Amino acid sequence: MTEESGEKPLARDVLDELGDDRLQELAGLLGTDASGAHKVVDDTVSALSGGLRERAGEGPDGAAEVQEALAETEQPPLQGAFTLGGLGGLASGGLLAGLLSKLSRPVAGAISKKTGLPVANVTRGIELLIPVILTVLTKRAARKR
């Protein structure tokens, strides 16, 4: 999804969803400033998107896994007692949350090396970002319905 198709880049939507307060919270968690947190968001979204594309290219099983995970975001969100974890919570993220969580381990290491931030901080930052990414993807899918 590019700006050419009329849709903002995913990282921009994630930053908008985070807002300034949560971006500052992320910066504190990472041990950096807002600019550094912004860079981590950009790098994380790019790396996770690339990881999904890579997984989809690993043959029929990988493609099916990614397709099924993304299809879940197109389903109406669960209501009531089924919303464990709240809006965008990992517990309500299903297959896509699990897939992003698996991909996040190597992503955290790469971002840590790139930024010089401690890998533990980057890992916690990515854990904070995954529910936000899920929320953005779900909102995008809802707009397409």
Please tell me the predicted confidence (pLDDT) of residue 2.
Answer: 42
CA atoms within a 13 Å half-sphere pointing along the CA-CB vector of 73: 24
- Give the separation between CA 129 and CA 15, rounded to whole angstroms: 10
Integer CA distances (angstroms), 31 to 1, 45, 58, 65, 102, in order: 31, 19, 36, 35, 24
Please tell me the predicted confidence (pLDDT) of residue 54.
Answer: 85
Report the candidate in 54, 47, 49 with the shortest Cα–Cα distance to residue 111: 47
Please tell me the predicted confidence (pLDDT) of residue 145.
Answer: 67
- Give the separation between CA 60 and CA 144, rounded to whole angstroms: 26
Cβ atoms within 10 Å, residue 74: 13
- Give the separation between CA 68 and CA 27, rounded to whole angstroms: 33
Residue 78, SS3?
coil
- Give the separation between CA 112 and CA 9, rounded to whole angstroms: 23
- Give the separation between CA 141 and CA 64, rounded to whole angstroms: 18
Tens of pLDDT along the chain (145 residues)? 444 455 679 999 999 999 999 999 999 999 999 999 999 999 999 999 888 888 778 888 877 777 777 777 666 554 433 333 333 444 445 778 888 888 888 999 999 999 999 999 999 999 999 999 988 988 887 787 6
Please tell me the predicted confidence (pLDDT) of residue 57.
Answer: 84
